[in-house]
Amino acid sequence: MEVAIVEEIISLLAHFQEELQVLTNDFQKMKNTIYNIYKENEKLKEENQNLKKLLFTKEEEEEPDQEGGMGYDNLTRLYREGFHVCHLNFGEGRESDCLFCMGLLDNNLDEVEEESSDK
């Protein structure tokens, strides 16, 4: 009878070890995912800071009498530097031309030209 109890305990320990291994694997996957999210967050924070510096530096360099086209110029500059300026993906890196961005820039150019002709 004691042998049966020992075998049952060994079986329970083996099952417990398997469950513990599954939990350990799941924990490692979660840890890796969280680390990847952390790295991406740090990268995005740095990119955001660089964009803010670039934007505010450019704004300080602009003269006050050129206010009409300054917003358009900033958007155009950001687009040329490889970032989206459309509302769908604003500030994200761009790998190719974006029709939404190009449409926005065309509309803004028309408005800036109308404001200039009204003056």
The residue extents of the domains of the chain are: 1-61, 66-119
> Counting beta carbons within 10 angstroms of the beta carbon of residue 85, is it exposed (0 to 12), middle (13 to 18) or buried (19 or more)?
buried
Q: Is the pLDDT of residue 52 over 70?
A: yes
pTM: 0.43
- Per residue in 10-40, pLDDT tens? 999 999 999 999 999 999 999 999 999 999 9
pLDDT at 24: 97
Q: What is the distance between the alpha carbons of residues 62 and 65, in angstroms, rounded to a whole number?
A: 9
Place of tokens 């006050």: 64
pLDDT at 59: 63
Distance CA 24, CA 52 (A): 42
Summarize the confidence of residues 67-86 as an average pLDDT.
80
Return all residues near 115 (Cβ < 8 A) that are at least 6 apart: 68
- N residues, the chain: 119
